[in-house]
Amino acid sequence: MTQTDPFYKKSTVILFGFILLVYVLFTLADILVPIAFSVLIAILLNPLNSRFQRVRIPKVLSILLTLLVALTALGLLLYFLSSQIAQFGEMVPILKQKFTQILTDLQHWAERTFGIGIQKQTQILKDAANSSKAVVGRTVSSALGIFSLLFLIPVYIFLLLYYKPLILNFLFEVFSHKNTQSVADILHETKSAIQSYIVGLLIEASIVAVLNSVALTLLGVKYGILLGVIGAILNMIPYIGGLIAIILPVLMATVTKEGYTTQLAIIGAYAVIQFIDNNILVPRIVSSKVQLNALVSILAVLLGGALWGFAGMFLSIPFVAVIKIICDRIEELQPWGKLLGDQVPANYPGQISPSQNSPSKTDKTEINIVRQE
């Protein structure tokens, strides 16, 4: 394909290439999702590994120590969640009975109000549950499977850190010598953006977890700490996660408390927390180098969810951020980089300025003559 080829030919080739890429990503999700997570975690752990090597620790041992630190932190988090979930399991029979009663009342109300039979409602709920199981099953099998979590991802991280010089040397050699500086700039910005984004995201999630837990505990919601931490983890999924996080404590309050005062208080508290998160925590803590506009971020999260489930929602923002960095460094792709970014231009080619919209002095004179006549 050359520059002289007609537009329809170029667009067709690009469209088929995009369709093939999406098909490969969807088909190989079980393989690519653990690798994608491993790349992000390896980039995040690389500074710690480099620090170990600077104090003369052998390369293999430094990587193993880095993995040990990461697994210890993950183990502490899982231990905390498992202890909270174990306490939550004691109330499952009572919660199930109460939830069944509420669901029965809602079904009778829907039958009286909308004329939908209980059997029809049950079928709708079964269909929704089956679709949810399919989404969750695909996500678990592709990203959070036991085999991937306990074996593949640590092995990938070890190999990525061990063969880092080999991978970087390949990236430099695969491009011509004149592009060496551009490749170095792209790699440096990509590493900085991903590290800053993930570290900022973890700090933000910790603060949101504390705020959620304090709010739910003050409102008397059972298992407020567990729900607050789960809400903070869900909040790591941009835009959509925060909305999902509100549902869990509202359901808990609905099942365990009478009336709707607590539910309204939870919604109000979470709205304040979301305001603080979106206007203070995200701009100040989460990396400012991931400069994506809200429209692109929402579309990326939705498309990532459709492609790879919940794992795709989390991976979508770093992935699009890397695409933007590459587009900003390649002259032919800079318009696409600007489209992904959050810098809105004051004007654009072909825009009519305010002075062009207002009538000129000659036009005003002609209008006055017409009025006098």
Q: Is residue 49 part of a domain?
A: yes
pLDDT band at 144 (very low <50, low <70, confident <90, very high): very low
Q: Is residue 299 part of a domain?
A: no
Give tens-digit pLDDT for 236-254: 776 667 777 888 888 888 7
Domain range holding 86? 31-96+132-177
Q: Is residue 250 part of a domain?
A: no
Give the mean pLDDT of 93-121: 73
pLDDT band at 149 (very low <50, low <70, confident <90, very high): low
- How far is 220 from 30, CA to CA, in rounded Å? 42
Could you report how far apart the first and last alpha carbons of the chain are, in Å?
Answer: 65
Give the mean pLDDT of 312-324: 84
Q: Is residue 53 part of a domain?
A: yes
pLDDT of 367 reads 43
pTM of the predicted model as reported, rounded to 2 decimal places: 0.71
Q: Is residue 142 part of a domain?
A: yes
pLDDT of 128 reads 61
pLDDT of 125 reads 67
Give the mean pLDDT of 280-302: 74
Give the mean pLDDT of 270-285: 80
The percentage of residues in the chain with a pLDDT greater than 90, rounded to a whole number, is 8
Q: Is the pLDDT assigned to residue 165 strictly greater than 80?
A: yes
pLDDT of 163 reads 92
Give tens-digit pLDDT for 46-70: 999 999 999 988 999 999 999 999 9
User: Hey, how many other C-beta atoms are within 10 angstroms of the C-beta on 9?
Assistant: 11
Residue whose C-alpha is closest to residue 237's, from 302, 332, 145: 302
Q: Is the pLDDT assigned to residue 198 strictly greater than 90?
A: no
Residue 290 sits at the vertex; the CA angle it makes with 149 and 139, to the nearest 5 degrees, is 30
User: Hey, how many other C-beta atoms are within 10 angstroms of the C-beta on 290?
Assistant: 21
Q: Is residue 229 part of a domain?
A: no
Tell me the pLDDT of the chain averaged across its residues. 77
The answer to whether 339 and 324 are in contact (CB under 8 A) is no
Position 232, amino acid: A
Q: Is residue 55 part of a domain?
A: yes
- Residue 18 vs residue 148, higher pLDDT: 18
The answer to whether 247 and 230 are in contact (CB under 8 A) is no
Number of separate domains in the chain: 1
Q: Is the pLDDT assigned to residue 349 strictly greater than 50?
A: yes
Residue whose C-alpha is closest to residue 277's, from 245, 251, 302: 245
The answer to whether 281 and 204 are in contact (CB under 8 A) is yes
